[in-house]
Amino acid sequence: MSYNVYNVYMHFPVLAIMTLFVGAFCVTLAGKHEKVRNVIAGCAVLISFTLLALLVKPVMIDGNIITYWMGNWEPVEGYAIGIAIEVDALSLFFGLLITIAVACSCFYSYQYMKQDDARGSYFTLYLMLSGGVLGIVLSGDLFNIYVMLEVMTFAAVGLTAFRTWNPNAREAAFKYLVVGSIGSTCALLGTALVYAQCHTLNLAQISAILPGNLNPTTILAFALLFAGFGCKSFMFPFHPIAADAHGAAPSSVSVLISGVFTKTGVYGIIRVCYFLFRSMGLTSVQTMLVFIGCLSMFVCVTMALNQHDFKRLLAFHSISQIGYILTSLGLCTALGIAGGLYHAINHTLFKGLLFLTAGSVLYATGTTYLEKLGGLARKMPQTTALFLIGAFSISGIPPFNGFYSKWIIYQATFEKAAGGSIGYALVTVVCVVTSVLTLASFIKVGHSVFFGQANPELGNVKDPPLGMRVPMWILATLCVLTGLFPDLMLRYIIGPATAAVLNSVGYIDAAMGAGYAEAHLADPSLLAAPQLISIGAWQPASWLVLFVIVLLAVFLCSLLSRGNSARGLESDAKHAVFFGGERAEYSHISGGDLFWGFKHNLRGYLGFMSRVHTGVTNDYVLWGVTATAVIIAYCFVTM
């Protein structure tokens, strides 16, 4: 039984990565010709996306695993010396969602970045970042992953500081660089330790050799790799830098950092926990992931409620959603993994959309500060509609996509609870509460940016140009579609990816030859793929049909009683807002004033959280180092 497909598909993954890197250099060559630069960047991302999309059939549906040895350096005498590109359904899943976000954001930035200077370097960095991210998820080599991690991190730091006139951006980039290098260092050290133990860097081979070989060195390597990738996914307590970086970077870049960059961390954690060490069978590792996930979820959503800046708020939500993904992956059940992966793709879509709407608001008004905005719905109707789609998706309002993935996560956690530990039922509760708080904070944004009273200082504001709206509508459509057709998603995209997570045997055999896993793994069926069964059914498409029918019926009834809603020639007073009889004046209830009762009751906790997030780099480094130390200690004690 051979998983290799010796045909043209084999070359697609490496081409997808190389196109982006070659594009990055060509963009520089184009020099001052802006149109040429745009065309090159656009072509690069589109080609990359197309190449990966063509792989859906062989990899996702037919279940092949593509292995490509760079320079044809195949394994010799059972040792993989060369660098491999190995694409299973999991890699392709992440590759697809990355390229979708990259493409949308790229087209968005044509218009969006028009007012910036030094645009020459923008697409170079942009394509480097994209290429690095794609390199990580498609690579089959641990050290190669580290190299790509560095490429990605430095490109991201450069892009964060892209608007150098903004002191916040420079500061954020610095913090990012410092805290990010903790993660990189951990990952490198972990890689070195693994290499010392296994004498190989090939993921597949390590996955075969390492799991039966738990000793202090490998435990340390595990903890370091976990912390390293955790840092890249900005999980708690690495999260504060994310807030600064997402907030300061141009919105088109925030999409990448939030929707794409963090996913590489998640991807790395999956590879480390499920493949390299096969440690997800251990309760202690599950507990650690779920615990960190819940903390990220709850802490960041409460921090988000406290924010006064649209993009910072979105940034905290990113981490909160990453928390969902980690929690769900930590359950180590088919349903949990499916929920986590589903949420990963949804998060990329809706968070991308929300960052782009934030970018549009910034583009139109020049600010994202919640207290200065208001009443934009009348002037920017399309942006408002897009924002609402994104907000409903992230808050899990049926039938948008966020609901379905959250619903799977609730089921997965609750089912896990039924297996014995009541603790997992409390995880479900945390998930639901976080979801409500997410809704609350988007009500806050909606009210203080798009609804409420129009700020008279914002004069001539209008919807962004078509070039910016189209990518947003594409993302919005995807949000709705992935919410409406979860069955298709589960069958063709999520299902294969979930199976791939639990199929490390196939992954090993594809690279090292059939039977290699059997020979080396002590218990090959430890994490074998169980059936993906959900404990209920929810058909959003039929729900939507029902909804539309009812809406139509309701409208028909309303036609029977058409009130007089036409504007006559009455005085203006009649249509003015009621102010207890006073003349209407500007009195917008801004975001900071909302949810008083909630904030008042939790003032101790919220105040503590605000005080702790000092914004000082040293503090955040301390958090990061402490967290790494705690993870190492925890792993030594429990593994």
Which residues in the 560-619 window bind other proteins by CB under 8 A?
Answer: 560-565, 567, 570-584, 587-589, 593-598, 600-601
Using rule CB under 8 A, residue 483 touches other proteins: no
- Residue 166 DSSP one-character state: -
Using rule CB under 8 A, residue 533 touches other proteins: no
How far apart, in Å, are the Cα atoms of 543 and each of 145, 398, 552, 557?
43, 9, 14, 21
The helix/strand/coil state of 301 is helix
Question: What's the min distance (Å) between Cβ of 339 and other proteins?
Answer: 13
150 CB neighbour count, 10 Å cutoff: 15
3 CB neighbour count, 10 Å cutoff: 18
Using rule CB under 8 A, residue 536 touches other proteins: yes
The mark string for 484-503 relative to other proteins (x by CB under 8 A, - otherwise) is --------------------
**In terms of CB distance, is 481 or 546 closer to other proteins?**
546
**In terms of CB distance, is 36 or 454 closer to other proteins?**
454
How many positions of this chain bind other proteins (CB under 8 A)?
87
**In terms of CB distance, is 384 or 617 closer to other proteins?**
384
Question: What's the min distance (Å) between Cβ of 534 and other proteins?
Answer: 10
- Distance between CA atoms of residues 554 and 136, nearest Å: 52
To which residue do tokens 């504007």 refer?
A: 567
Using rule CB under 8 A, residue 302 touches other proteins: no
- Residue 260 tokens read as 């794409």
- Distance between CA atoms of residues 245 and 257, nearest Å: 8
Contact 583, 572 (CB under 8 A): no
561 CB neighbour count, 10 Å cutoff: 6
Contact 591, 444 (CB under 8 A): yes
**In terms of CB distance, is 79 or 543 closer to other proteins?**
543
- Distance between CA atoms of residues 620 and 407, nearest Å: 34
Question: What's the min distance (Å) between Cβ of 619 and other proteins?
Answer: 30
Question: What's the min distance (Å) between Cβ of 38 and other proteins?
Answer: 35
Q: Indicate which single residue of 47, 514, 541, 621 sits in contact with other proteins (rule: CB under 8 A).
A: 541
**In terms of CB distance, is 108 or 424 closer to other proteins?**
424
> What are the residue ranges of helices labelled H in 257-309?
262-270, 283-305
**In terms of CB distance, is 522 or 537 closer to other proteins?**
537
One-letter-per-residue 3-state SS of 376-416: HHHCCHHHHHHHHHHHHHHHCCCCCHHHHHHHHHHHHHHHH
**In terms of CB distance, is 48 or 435 closer to other proteins?**
435
Question: What's the min distance (Å) between Cβ of 456 and other proteins?
Answer: 11
Give the largest CA-CA distance in the chain.
91
Contact set for other proteins, span 426-465 (CB under 8 A) = 428-429, 432-433, 436-437, 439-440, 443, 446-447, 450-454
Using rule CB under 8 A, residue 531 touches other proteins: no
Question: What's the min distance (Å) between Cβ of 111 and other proteins?
Answer: 25
The helix (run of H) or strand (run of E) holding residue 9 is none
Contact set for other proteins, span 366-425 (CB under 8 A) = 375, 377-378, 381, 384, 388, 396-398, 403, 407, 410-411, 414-415, 417-418, 422, 425
**In terms of CB distance, is 6 or 596 closer to other proteins?**
596
Question: What's the min distance (Å) between Cβ of 459 and other proteins?
Answer: 16
Exposed/middle/buried for residue 359 (C-beta within 10 Å: 0-12, 13-18, 19+):
buried
**In terms of CB distance, is 195 or 598 closer to other proteins?**
598
